């Protein structure tokens, strides 16, 4: 299977430029890391998904939901990006939903390999695949980032045909 694909930031330059010194999400390398980080969240935050990335070293990094993925990644490349929600069980925290929704990185569905590896490394139970998968394509005509819905591979801006294969 080889090395996982690395995703570079493809979002607006001004968002990346606004990243402060020392930016980066909280590293989760063990269940205790996750429990400690979630303990600092209020009830309202816990009811929503969180921003996540998997860094090039395979480590899960978390940030508040309205954080930019590129800030969570400290401005660098990622192996995966999206949103994660957690549920508390008798055995601790588990992933209740997970997506690859990141318009800053537009990761393909194959980024699941990196997500599942990072969650396994941290010992966090999770679903078997993305619960909310997102298909991204860049329009070859106008260059716009698109989310493909219901297998309708047409650019939302210029109506050009979008490629069947991931193209960022």
Q: pLDDT per residue over 2-47, tens digit each?
A: 788 999 999 999 999 988 777 789 999 999 999 999 998 999 999 9
Distance CA 29, CA 89 (A): 19
Give the containing element (helix H, strand E) for 116: helix 112-122
Assess if residue 75 is contained within a domain.
Answer: yes
Assess if residue 41 is contained within a domain.
Answer: yes
Q: How far is CA 131 from CA 30, 36, 37, 82, in A?
A: 22, 25, 23, 11
Q: Same domain for 17 and 41? A: yes
Q: Same domain for 87 and 144? A: no
Assess if residue 98 is contained within a domain.
Answer: yes
Q: pLDDT per residue over 120-142, tens digit each?
A: 999 999 999 999 999 999 999 99
Assess if residue 5 is contained within a domain.
Answer: no
pLDDT at 91: 92
Q: pLDDT per residue over 57-104, tens digit each?
A: 999 999 998 899 999 999 999 999 999 999 999 999 999 999 999 999
Q: Which residues pair with 137 in a beta bridge?
A: 146
pLDDT at 97: 98
Residue (of 90, 149, 136) closest to 109 by Cα position: 136
Q: Same domain for 30 and 76? A: yes
Average pLDDT score over residue span 143-148: 96
pTM higher than 0.75: yes
Distance CA 95, CA 43 (A): 17
Give strand ranges (E) for 101-162: 135-138, 145-148
Q: Same domain for 127 and 142? A: no
Question: Can you tell me which residue has the tokens 């998968």?
Answer: 133
Q: How confident is the model at residue 1 (pLDDT cuts 50, 70, 90)?
A: low
pLDDT at 130: 98
Contact 19, 70 (CB under 8 A): yes
Domain count, the chain: 2
- Domain range spanning residue 139? 134-168
Distance CA 39, CA 45 (A): 11
Q: Same domain for 129 and 155? A: no
Q: Same domain for 101 and 164? A: no
Q: Same domain for 68 and 138? A: no
Residue 37, judged by CB atoms within 10 A of its CB (0-12, 13-18, 19+), counts as middle
Q: pLDDT per residue over 93-117, tens digit each?
A: 999 999 999 999 999 999 999 999 9
Contact 12, 30 (CB under 8 A): no
Q: Same domain for 147 and 85? A: no
Backbone angles phi, psi at 80, to 5 degrees: -165, 160
Distance CA 34, CA 46 (A): 12
Q: Same domain for 101 and 149? A: no
Q: Same domain for 36 and 100? A: yes
């Amino acid at each position: 299977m080889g090395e996982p694909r690395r995703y570079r930031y493809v979002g607006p330059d001004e968002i990346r430029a606004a990243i402060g010194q020392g930016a980066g999400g909280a590293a989760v390398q063990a269940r205790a890391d996750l429990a400690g980080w979630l303990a600092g969240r209020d009830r309202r935050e816990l009811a929503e998904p969180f921003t996540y990335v998997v860094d090039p070293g395979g480590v899960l990094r978390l940030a508040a939901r309205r954080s930019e993925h590129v800030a969570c990644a400290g401005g660098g490349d990622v192996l995966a990006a999206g949103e994660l929600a957690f549920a508390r069980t008798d055995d601790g925290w588990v992933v209740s939903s997970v997506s690859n929704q990141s318009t800053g990185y537009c990761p393909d569905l194959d980024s699941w390999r990196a997500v599942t590896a990072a969650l396994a490394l941290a010992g966090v139970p999770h679903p078997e695949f993305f619960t909310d998968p997102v298909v991204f394509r860049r329009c070859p005509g106008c260059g716009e980032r698109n989310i493909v819905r219901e297998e309708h591979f047409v650019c939302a801006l210029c109506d050009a045909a979008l490629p069947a294969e991931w193209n960022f």
